[in-house]
């Protein structure tokens, strides 16, 4: 059997209402002074208030940074890092969609280590250590709560990333109740993002392609496929929301260890240029990427040993 390496978040809590118990779940990990990173929309809705109150009841002093925007720019990361240093934070909580979680990851790294971000960009370049980190997703799509990747917009359009096991969090808290208010468009876009993570992880030809990622990707696709229409038609369906959140997390585990490929490579510049949701940019690219990808072999339909483009197209269209 081919050797492989598999990393993931050490502690995962999956429970409706778990965010209301964030103090008992995470206070010991986070320490006495916590910076919570979120966006202004969630703050205005009061969605993070129960989590903040729970941390405070557990004895933590909580500082809020709520200026995260979609496709977060470097200036937002720098401001959040300054907030962590000013608060002398002992731990970081990311609360929100993928943007808030990505910012929280790098705040924990930079505030914890003091390292130069320019030296950390890329794969395996971060040195650490980082501050304790807890991530609470409010969308079912990015899987960022279990991945070693953070994407930041540098300048007007360039998306730049840090990929390192150092920024995998200590705890991920999956609370389906936090996703009940997502509008249909965001639900659909984030759901497609998770679906693409699973598809690309399953079909990956990366050297670290492994049986655990394939197993997780299959289960993620089963959960997402069975529930994505239900959560759009019935936004308050907690069971379906939970299934989507779990599917997103499993897809995140899969692609974190068996990386994504052509769809994401093409989707990132589309999102950076036109500032459209990441899931939508994935959806725009996915059909054509599948036509040119040898997905037939990975889904049980054997292609020729050396297929030409026309043969690959016929096989993909038959799926």
The predicted-structure confidence for 163-177, as pLDDT tens digits, reads as follows: 999 999 999 999 999
Q: What is the pTM of this model?
A: 0.88
- Structure-model confidence comparison of residues 260 and 26, the more confident one: 26
Q: What are the extents of the domains in the chain?
A: 11-179, 184-318
Average pLDDT taken over every residue of the chain? 89
The CATH code that applies to domain 184-318 is: 1.20.1090.10
Lowest mean pLDDT among 25-34, 82-91, 128-137, 298-307: 298-307
Check residue 164 and give its pLDDT.
96
| Among 193, 289, 202, residue whose Cα is nearest residue 254 | 202
Check residue 83 and give its pLDDT.
99
> b/e for 296-316, b at 16 or more Cβ within 10 A?
bebeeeebeeebeeeebeebb
3-state secondary structure the chain: CCCCCCCCCCEEEECCCHHHHHHHHHHHHHCCEEEEECCHHHHHHCCCHHHHHHHHHCCCEEEEECCCCCCCEHHHHHHHHHHHHHCCCCEEEEEECHHHHHHHHHHHHHHHHCCCHHHHCEECCCCCCCCCEEEEECCCCCCHHHCCEEEEEECCCEEEEEECHHHCCCEEEECHHHHCCCCHHHHHHHHHHHHHHHHHHHHCCCCCCCHHHHHHHHHHHHHHHHHHHHHHHCCCCHHHHHHHHHHHHHHHHHHHHCCCCHHHHHHHHHHHHHCCCHHHHHHHHHHHHHHCCCHHHHCCCCCCCCCCHHHHHHHHHHC
pLDDT tens profile 272-287: 777 777 778 888 888 8
Check residue 259 and give its pLDDT.
76
pLDDT tens profile 211-246: 999 999 999 999 999 999 999 999 999 999 999 999
Query: Could you give the CA distance from residue 172 to residue 198 in angstroms, rounded to a whole number?
Result: 19
Q: Per-residue confidence at 302, pLDDT binned at 50, 70, 90?
A: very low
The CATH code that applies to domain 11-179 is: 3.40.50.1970
Lowest mean pLDDT among 71-85, 129-143, 189-203, 267-281: 267-281
Q: Per-residue confidence at 316, pLDDT binned at 50, 70, 90?
A: low
Query: Could you give the CA distance from residue 48 to residue 39 in angstroms, rounded to a whole number?
Result: 10
pLDDT tens profile 70-100: 889 999 999 999 999 999 999 999 999 999 9
The predicted model gives 22-46 an average pLDDT of 98
């Amino acid at each position: 059997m081919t050797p492989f390496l598999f990393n993931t978040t050490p502690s995962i809590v999956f429970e409706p209402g778990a965010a209301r118990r964030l103090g008992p779940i995470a206070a010991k990990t986070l320490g006495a002074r916590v910076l919570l990173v979120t966006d202004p929309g969630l703050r205005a809705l009061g969605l993070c208030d129960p989590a903040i109150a729970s941390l405070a009841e557990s004895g933590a002093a909580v500082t809020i940074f709520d200026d995260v925007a979609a496709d977060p720019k470097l200036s937002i990361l720098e401001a959040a890092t300054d907030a962590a240093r000013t608060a002398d934070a002992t731990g970081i909580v990311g609360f929100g969609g993928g943007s808030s979680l990505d910012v929280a990851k790098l705040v924990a790294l930079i505030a914890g280590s003091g390292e130069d971000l320019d030296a950390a960009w890329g794969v395996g370049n971060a040195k650490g250590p980082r501050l304790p980190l807890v991530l609470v997703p409010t969308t079912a799509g990015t899987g960022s709560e279990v991945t070693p990747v953070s994407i930041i917009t540098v300048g007007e359009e360039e998306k730049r990333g840090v990929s390192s096991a150092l920024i995998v969090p200590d705890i991920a808290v999956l609370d389906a109740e936090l996703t009940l208010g997502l509008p249909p468009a965001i639900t659909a876009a984030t759901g497609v993002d998770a679906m693409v993570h699973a598809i690309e992880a399953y079909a990956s030809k990366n050297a670290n392609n492994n049986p655990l990622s394939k197993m997780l990707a299959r289960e993620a696709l089963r959960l997402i496929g069975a529930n994505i229409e239900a959560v759009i038609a019935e936004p308050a369906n907690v069971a379906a929301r939970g299934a989507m959140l779990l599917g997103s997390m499993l897809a995140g585990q899969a692609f974190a260890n068996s990386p994504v490929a052509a769809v994401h490579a093409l989707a990132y510049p589309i999102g950076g240029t036109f500032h459209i949701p990441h899931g939508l940019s994935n959806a725009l690219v996915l059909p054509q990427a599948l036509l040119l990808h040898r997905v037939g072999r990975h889904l049980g339909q054997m292609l020729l040993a050396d297929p030409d483009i026309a043969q690959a197209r016929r096989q993909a269209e038959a799926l």
